[in-house]
Structure 1
Amino acid sequence: MRTAYVFTSRAIALLVLFQAAVIAFGVFDLAKTVEDDGSIDKSTAEDLVGLSLHGIGAMVLSVLVILLLIFSFFTKVPGAVRWALIVFGVTVLQWVFAIVAFSVPAIGLLHGLNAFAVAATAGIAGRVVSTGGATTPAAAEPAPAA
């Protein structure tokens, strides 16, 4: 289960990078579409690949976070459940920011910043389990013999 946990945590962190890339693509594509056509409507926005991929990525990320939480109960590594719960919590917060940002666009800033928290906590979760519960790589190494 450790391998599944570490793989999933790293996949979450990488998927956050993918999310950032596709939303940037979507926004630039949206700007170009407005520039070329002079306007945009809801159906045109729904056809933009970057925005669609961002939505799909959010769903995949959510499934991975739930899997991480499930795996955490079977890894038997100190800190695995705690870090999976933290990843879960910042992911729920990410969804809240996303939903609220459609009514209050400035909240989108928090959505973007919180993405760093999702990636960072997922990375830490993977590191904690890959080092057997140590919070620093040095702590995972055996003490030198005297």
Structure 2
Amino acid sequence: MRAVYRVLAYLLALEVVVQAAAIAWAVFGLTTWIEGGGVLDKAGMESESVVFDGVTGFMVHGMNGTLIVPIFGLLFLISSFFARFPGAIAWAGAAFGLVVIQVALGIFAHSIPALGMLHGALALGLLVVALVAARKASVATAAASEPASTGSHAAPLV
């Protein structure tokens, strides 16, 4: 089960990268479109008539952030109860907590744009937590597969 834990941790980290790439694609595409004469207003945002290179990035970021990332976060937390190594539940709990906060910030930042800064900063925190958790699972797996020490140590060859 440690392998499942490790894979889910890496998938969560990968999702942070996908999220960053998607929103960057969307924003750079939007600014390029506006600089080329495009106009975006409330009516344009509510219709599906606004088309520019990168518009799909907004959709990917939104759907990924509200569906895929939370699913991976929940599966990661569940797997932590079966991974059976010190810190597994704590790291997965921290990751899941960050995912919940990320979703909330993503929703509320539409009303309070300054929350977007915290949303971006905590995404980096989630990336680090997921990578550390994956690494700890790898170390625990390697330690468990090492042969038990018999207590007798051979002298090193000089």
Specify the TM-score bucket, using the shorter chain as the normaliser. Answer: 0.7 to 0.9
> In 2, are the aligned partners of 1:5 and 1:126 still within 8 Å (CA)?
yes
> In 1, are the aligned partners of 2:2 and 2:141 still within 8 Å (CA)?
no
Q: Of 50, 56, 60, which residue of structure 1 is paired with 2:63? A: 56
CA distance in 2, matches of 1:26, 1:38: 14
Structure 2 residue ranges without an equivalent (≥5): none
RMSD: 2.6
> In 2, are the aligned partners of 1:83 and 1:121 still within 8 Å (CA)?
yes
The structure having more radius of gyration, on CA atoms, is: 2
Q: Which residue of 2 aligns with 1:121?
A: 129
AA at the equivalent of 1:102: H
For structure 1, which segment, 26-35 or 79-88, has the greater mean C-alpha deviation from structure 2 after superposition?
26-35
CA distance in 2, matches of 1:67, 1:60: 11
Alignment of 1:1-146 (within 5 A): 1-40=1-40, 41-42=44-45, 43-44=47-48, 48-58=55-65, 59-132=67-140, 145=153
For structure 1, which segment, 12-21 or 35-44, has the greater mean C-alpha deviation from structure 2 after superposition?
35-44
AA at the equivalent of 2:99: T
Structure 1 residue ranges without an equivalent (≥5): none
* Number of equivalent positions: 141
For structure 1, which segment, 108-117 or 57-66, has the greater mean C-alpha deviation from structure 2 after superposition?
57-66
CA positional deviation for 1:26: 0.3
> In 2, are the aligned partners of 1:79 and 1:133 still within 8 Å (CA)?
no
CA distance in 2, matches of 1:6, 1:101: 31
**Greater per-residue helix proportion:** 1
CA positional deviation for 1:32: 2.3
> Normalising by structure 1, what TM-score?
0.85
CA distance in 1, matches of 2:105, 2:49: 20
For structure 1, which segment, 8-17 or 33-42, has the greater mean C-alpha deviation from structure 2 after superposition?
33-42
> In 2, are the aligned partners of 1:80 and 1:129 still within 8 Å (CA)?
yes
